[in-house]
Amino acid sequence: MFWRVVLNILAVSTLAVAFAAWVYPGFALIPVPCEKPITYTLSSFDNRFGISQKGFLSALLAAEAIWEKPLGKELFLYTPEGAKLSVNLIYDYRQETTSTLSGIESTVEQEEASYDTLEARYSSLKAEYTSAKSVYDAEVEAFDEKNSAYEDEVEAWNNSKRTSKSAFEQLERNRLALEADMRELKVLESGLNSMVREINTLVARLNHLVSSLNLNVKTYNTIGASRGETFTGGLYSQVEGEQSIDVYEFSSREKLVRVLTHELGHALGLEHVDDPKAIMYYLNEGETGALTETDLSALRALCYNEDITSPEQSRGEN
């Protein structure tokens, strides 16, 4: 009796599935997640991003591999024609803002490097000037003492009978020595003046760079504030059976790969997770191009019906 009931239940279940497939032809065609690779193609492509189609497809392959390697199976397949998923590179205010910020950041980095170089030269020259000035001051003090002594000797000579030839010759030697000392002091003074001019020039350039840096940083912060922290780098959507991934913004190849990986995750059927470092976090904040344990748990839960250990959020934008 028990086996007859079981057989009846199986017969009813089989009939129900057959009826559903007959009434709703698409019922029997619902794909099992991860069973067959999702075919995709590159559709719209804007060259203003400064990346070639070959480079973009390379990033897509890298994004594929991030999901495929942990499972050891092909989850995505590039198919130029007849693909189920279209990938589009769309240029608008988001990438324009990112490019502007990148340009300012590059300028700031160059100016900071110039500032550091000039500051190092300024510090070195200032130390050199301080040392040379000490030598000059000591030489001037010694010259003043010699000159004062010479003036006393001249005054004594003028007040004497001025008949001593040896005394006159000594005065002449002292005078010539003072003139030689004066020439040396002039050379030292000229060197000091040259250093002072260079120091003043360096100070002016440093002040200009400080002003420019402050201006650039202010501009960067202003644009960054208007950009916000929730820029939509990419968006996966499915409308009336049409699947697409639109990429709007990335600042580097690494960020592009993360955006593509995130949206491919949505294409698989993954939701957002509460792990800021994860690929499937709703913001593109992570730095690594690898799945976290949270991502892996979500992937295993999707493909193998394993228990997921990390909470999820709704699917959508990144």
Other C-beta atoms within 10 Å of 112: how many?
A: 14
pLDDT at 27: 40
When mean pLDDT is compared across 224-228, 249-253, 291-295, 300-304, the lowest value belongs to: 224-228
pLDDT digits (tens, 9 = 90+) for 20-40: 333 444 444 445 678 899 999
Task: Check pLDDT > 90 for residue 96.
Answer: no
pLDDT at 101: 57
Task: Check pLDDT > 90 for residue 295.
Answer: yes
> What is the chain's Cα-based Rg?
40
pLDDT at 17: 39
- Output the pTM of the full model: 0.51
C-alpha span between 84 and 26 (Å, rounded): 16
pLDDT digits (tens, 9 = 90+) for 197-240: 888 888 887 777 777 666 566 655 555 555 544 446 788 988 88
Spatial neighbors of 98 by CB under 8 A, at least 6 apart, are 227, 231, 249, 250, 251
* Residue found under tokens 């499915």: 238
Indicate the SS3 state at residue 107.
helix
* Residue found under tokens 């070639």: 52
Tokens of 52: 């070639």
Tokens of 4: 């007859």
Indicate the SS3 state at residue 239.
strand
pLDDT at 76: 95
Averaged pLDDT of the chain: 79
Q: What percent of the chain has pLDDT over 70?
A: 74
Task: Check pLDDT > 90 for residue 288.
Answer: no
Spatial neighbors of 286 by CB under 8 A, at least 6 apart, are 258, 276, 277, 278, 279, 292
Residue 308 confidence class, pLDDT cut points 50, 70, 90: very low
DSSP letter string over 181-233?
HHHHHHHHHHHHHHHHHHHHHHHHHHHHHHHHHHHHHHHHHHHHHHH-S----
Task: Check pLDDT > 80 for residue 294.
Answer: yes
Answer whether 260's CB lies under 8 Å from 60's CB: yes
DSSP letter string over 51-89?
--HHHHHHHHHHHHHHHHHHHTS--EEE-SSS-SEEEEE
Q: What is the average per-residue pLDDT within 166-189? A: 92
Residue 115 confidence class, pLDDT cut points 50, 70, 90: confident
Report the run of H or E that residue 274 belongs to, with start and end: none
Residue 113 confidence class, pLDDT cut points 50, 70, 90: confident
Task: Check pLDDT > 90 for residue 145.
Answer: yes
Other C-beta atoms within 10 Å of 129: how many?
A: 18
Task: Check pLDDT > 60 for residue 153.
Answer: yes
